Amino acid sequence: MELASAKAVITGGASGLGFATAKSVIDAGGQVALLDVNDEQGEKSAVELGERATYIHADVANEADVIAAVEKANAFMDGITLAVNCAGVVGAARALGREGTMPGEFFAKTISINLVGSFLIAKETANVMQNNEPNDGGERGVIISTASVAAFEGQIGQAAYSASKGGLVSMALPLAREFARIGVRVNTIAPGIFMTPMVAGMSE
């Protein structure tokens, strides 16, 4: 994958890891579509990145939003060769908290955004990538999801978050095996903690 020719869909692209990833693609000469729900910051970030970037509102947990956003990104860039899943929520809460047990809705929302959202982006972008002309190595696209060290070393209060990130780790291999036939690579990274607006907003 040459970033100079990349046509990237980046979720959570308005800020933090997503924006940093987008900037790397733009700096290398590629194009980006920033998907996020923070419209004000998303528009600002797209302007900062320049004419090879666009912002598209999309709730990654909403399948209709994802389908529409991928279609818009495909139209803007005239193709998609890279998808990077950076959208997510921390989902920090104890199963047995001081004010009662963790609501099932809280757990489900964390899974929906972090895991289901990444799956929806993966399948929809792969559907576009399979029509790309392969490069010399037979590659038509790359999909990268962002898990976390919490997938392997979850701490107290991270039951929902760790489950969602563990799901991303488990999902990588079967998707990689399935998409290999169409020349699409699938990878999942598991970084440790680093400062982003989402992390900065966490309670101590």
Q: What is the CATH number of the domain that holds 153?
A: 3.40.50.720
| pLDDT, position 171 | 99
Proportion of the chain above pLDDT 90, given as a percent: 92
Q: Is residue 203 a part of any domain in this protein?
A: no
Structural domain count of the chain? 1
pLDDT(105) > 90: yes
Q: Is residue 65 a part of any domain in this protein?
A: yes
Domain housing 129: 3-192
Q: Is residue 159 a part of any domain in this protein?
A: yes
pLDDT(8) > 80: yes
Q: Is residue 168 a part of any domain in this protein?
A: yes
Q: Is residue 200 a part of any domain in this protein?
A: no
Three-state secondary structure readout of 124-151: HHHHHHCCCCCCCCCCCEEEEEECCHHH
Which whole number is the average pLDDT over 140-168? Answer: 97
21, 161, 165, 175: which one is catalytic? 161
* 55 given a catalytic annotation: no
